[in-house]
């Protein structure tokens, strides 16, 4: 009888200890709101800032080669900030602002007559807002994997290009290429969140994103090259790392 009493007492103490531990580790709903800051890189996998074509400028035959966004701007770094709200333990809605400003390299564009033709694009500047719906799953202690879908709008500055052909003594200044644009985007991401403590976590994610084309301007009207800026939509693989705080 005495042994049974001791055994029951031990079980009761263990149960109270477990209950206390469970209470000490808050659920996602104890901190419904979150803010985050991150930075990422866009790897363009398809889509061109200019297509190929041929025509005439100043009476000389011109051949234009296609150039991808990565050819002109490289792998674009962007910064992002925003927040989220937990609907339940595994579901979150989020809003993210993204800013990007990329300088362009001097880009080989093709040939004009017997001279090489180069292009100097304006910087690519955009400010975007994405809405996301995210679902989490626990994978280990303090680690949660997630998947999310996003839709958004990005406001892209006007983009001009200067065409330069040294051997042909040609500089065509500020050729209008793209007007200021509101571009639509849709995508998805998968990632892992590491909760360092109940309030602060770090995350990494990768995804796939489609961005609609920019608004073309016929700055090359009458040259036969009017269509080289007609199809500027693109697919990217964004990689993002950041920090997240809950409250």
- Kindly report the CATH number assigned to the domain that includes residue 68: 2.40.160.20
For residue 13, name the pLDDT band (cuts at 50, 70, 90).
very low
pLDDT exceeds cutoff 50 at 12: no
Domain count, the chain: 1
pLDDT exceeds cutoff 90 at 14: no
Q: Which tens digit of pLDDT belongs to each residue from 139-191? A: 999 999 999 999 999 999 999 999 899 888 888 775 678 999 999 999 999 99
49 alpha-carbon distance from chain centroid? 17
- Domain assignment present for residue 233? The answer is yes
On whether the CB atoms of residues 47 and 235 are closer than 8 A, the answer is yes
**Mean pLDDT (whole number) for 5-13:** 42
For residue 4, name the pLDDT band (cuts at 50, 70, 90).
very low
Minimum mean pLDDT among 16-30, 52-66, 107-121: which range? Answer: 16-30
What does R_g of the chain's alpha carbons equal in angstroms? Answer: 27
- pLDDT mean across residues, the chain: 87
- Domain assignment present for residue 68? The answer is yes
- Domain assignment present for residue 21? The answer is no
pTM of the predicted model as reported, rounded to 2 decimal places? 0.83
The percentage of the chain sitting over the pLDDT mark of 70, rounded to a whole number, equals: 88
The percentage of the chain sitting over the pLDDT mark of 90, rounded to a whole number, equals: 70
- Domain assignment present for residue 92? The answer is yes
- Domain assignment present for residue 137? The answer is yes
Residue-number span of the structural domain to which 229 is assigned = 30-246
- Domain assignment present for residue 1? The answer is no
What pLDDT was estimated at residue 23? 39
- Domain assignment present for residue 16? The answer is no
- Domain assignment present for residue 19? The answer is no
């Amino acid at each position: 009888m005495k042994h049974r009493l001791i055994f029951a007492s031990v079980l009761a103490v263990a149960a109270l200890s477990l209950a206390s531990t469970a209470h000490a580790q808050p659920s996602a709903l104890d901190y419904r709101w979150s803010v985050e800051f991150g930075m990422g890189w866009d790897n363009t996998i398809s889509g061109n800032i200019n297509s190929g074509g041929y025509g005439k400028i100043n009476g000389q035959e011109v051949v234009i080669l296609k150039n991808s966004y990565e050819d002109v701007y490289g792998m674009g770094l962007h910064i992002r900030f925003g927040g989220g709200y937990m609907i339940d333990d595994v579901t979150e809605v989020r809003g993210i602002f993204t800013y990007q400003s990329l300088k362009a390299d001097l880009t080989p564009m093709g040939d004009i007559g017997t001279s090489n033709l180069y292009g100097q694009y304006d910087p690519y500047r955009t400010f975007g807002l994405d809405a996301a719906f995210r679902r989490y799953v626990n994978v280990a202690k303090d680690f949660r994997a997630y998947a999310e879908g996003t839709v958004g709008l990005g406001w892209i500055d006007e983009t001009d290009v200067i065409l330069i052909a040294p051997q042909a003594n040609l500089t065509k200044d500020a050729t209008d290429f793209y007007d200021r644009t509101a571009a639509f985007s849709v995508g998805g991401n998968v990632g892992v969140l590491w909760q360092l403590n109940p309030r602060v976590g770090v995350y990494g994610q990768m995804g796939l994103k489609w961005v609609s084309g920019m608004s073309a301007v016929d700055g090359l009207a009458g040259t036969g090259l009017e269509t080289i800026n007609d199809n500027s939509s693109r697919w990217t693989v964004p990689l993002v790392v950041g920090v997240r705080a809950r409250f």
